[in-house]
Structure 1
Amino acid sequence: MNVLVWLAAILLLLMAWVGGKQGARSFLSLFLNFGVIFLTVMFMMDPAVNPILITFIASILIGCVSLFFINEVNGKTTIAFISTMVTIVILLVFIVIVSQKLMIQGFGEEEEEAISGLSLYIGVDFMKIGASVIIMSTIGAIMDVAISIASSMHEIFKHNPLLSKKELFKSGVSIGRDILGTDTNTLFFAFFGGYLALLIWFKDLNYSIGEIVNSKIFSSEMILILCAGMGVALVIPIASWINAYFLVKTREK
């Protein structure tokens, strides 16, 4: 426990030193977002509650904390928030459809021994829970891209306010292309780094490549990575268009 406190203190000092008040707010936002996630999990335990709806509400709260609490309410954060929510809605619909088609919810045969003594009749829709997990795993990356594009486009517009909506949109997409590669790789390594033990386990089970690919555990993680990448790719044109629209509209006023 003492080590955790020291690590948290070091992180706070570093964030405050580098980011000032904004860095300190960023540190506090970690706990606020943890509280949102904790409450989300608590609500999801109620069979009467729709996990998809709860996830969307949680996404709104996380977006407010991560954008408005840290960076305050302004044009950049507002547009980034709108872009994030539009992307989340589109991604939610897509993920629900994909989850229904692929049937990746539930437990794999590798987990049978671990859950053999437990009751599976808990009244929870695992398909919707799976979709919620994907959204909660990608919202951070989506917000990161949205605020990066919004900040960059506002700076471009500030120095060249005569740009047309089309030119601004192209600039936003160009910025997004530079972000896309690094963000998708970040997601890839983050997920695979967390599940490195899973790959070692598959090796110990003497699984072939075909068995690994068709394993429910592996498939669900791959779908998580692919959907996260789609979310990052999707938010680029959405954020670029919304930013271009509002910036030109502001100039016309």
Structure 2
Amino acid sequence: MMNVLFLLAVLLFLLMVLIGGKKGARSFISLFLNFGVVLFTVFIMTDPNGNPIIITIFACTAISSINLFYINKVNSKTVTAFISTVVTITILIFFIYIVTKKTMIQGFGEEEIDELNVFSLYLGVDFVKIGAAVIIMSTIGAITDVAISITSPMREIFRHHPSISRKELFTSGLTIGKDILGSNTNTLFFAFIGGYLALLIWFKDLSYTFGQIVNSKIFSAEMITIFSAGIGIALIIPISSWINAYYLVKRREKSEGN
């Protein structure tokens, strides 16, 4: 197994460097940096004195910084993408926490209990906050990806049409976002189907009805994660478009004033 993982990692590295050059190499290294952030987050999240949501916010900030500033360096498109990501995540935090608490998807489902009977579940942590933290962490990658996918072409549009108005630039950002909204949302859905196909087959073997599947805690938790990520993708489009348009035009007006 280790040999296969090593060979796949080498193959991925070679392809990313061959296609992406130095940026591809930084993207490959960022995978391990993000993995390290996640491991560190999980380690300190088990501390009963810590707040999982606050810890996750710092983790998402670190992940966003790695994905934006380390890979693409510090420039106008990454700065506005980072600000947009922080604003969107802040909005989502309250929404996700309320949804997690109301739907009671925290903890483990019935299908997982048999495997956990030998362990104690009295860990001294708030499983509602843990559940919300998991969903927040699951959305950060998609939100960051959409943010940079909007701010980057907007900067190119502004560079080729420096006299464009703020409203026209904002509209261009929305148009770009509309083109990637559907594909990114469907990517999240198929990622769920691929990861939980075995679970769906198990549900069929257990003769679960459609209602039982939908009300299953495992299924509901994953679908809520997908919907939350989809909401985040939808929110980041106007937020990043407006912030980027405001920043670029403001910088132009400031340079003209000087």
Q: TM-score, normalised by structure 1?
A: 0.98
* 1:17 corresponds to: 18
Q: 1 CA distance for matches of 2:163 and 2:53?
A: 42
Give the Cα–Cα distance (whole angstroms) in 2 for the partners of residues 129 and 87 of structure 1. 20
Are 1:85 and 2:83 counterparts? no
Question: 1:74 is matched with which residue?
Answer: 75
| Structure 1 equivalent of residue 219 of structure 2 | 218
Aligned length: 253
Show the counterpart of 2:173.
Answer: 172
Q: Deviations over 1:127-166 (max 9, x none)?
A: 1111111111111111111001000110111111111111
**For 1:148-191, what per-residue CA distance to the aligned partner results, in whole angstroms no more than 9, with x for missing partners?**
10001101111111111111111101100000000000011012
Residue 176 of structure 2 aligns with an amino acid whose one-letter code is I
Match of 1:60 in 2: 61
Aligned-pair identity (%): 68
SS at match of 1:98: helix
CA deviation map 1:190-214 (0-9, x unaligned) = 1221011111111111110011111
| Structure 1 residue aligned with 2:230 | 229
Instruction: Kindly report structure 1 stretches of 4+ aligned residues shifted beyond 3 Å.
Output: none
Alpha-carbon distance in 1 for matches of 2:113, 2:37: 31
Q: Which residue of 1 aligns with 2:152?
A: 151
Q: Distance in 2 between matches of 1:44 and 1:191?
A: 25
Aligned to 1:192: 193
Distance 1:228 1:31 in 2: 23
C-alpha displacement of 1:70 = 0.6
Please list the CA deviations of residues 57-78 of structure 1 after superposition, one character each: whole Å capped at 9, or x if unmatched.
0011001111101111111111
Greater mean alpha carbon deviation, residues 102-111 or residues 173-182 = 102-111
Structure 1, unaligned runs of 5 or more: none
Write the distance in 2 (CA, Å) between the matches of 1:172 and 1:77.
15
For residue 111 of structure 1, report the CA deviation from its aligned partner.
Answer: 2.0
Structure 2: runs of 5+ lacking an equivalent: none
Which residue is equivalent to 2:114?
113
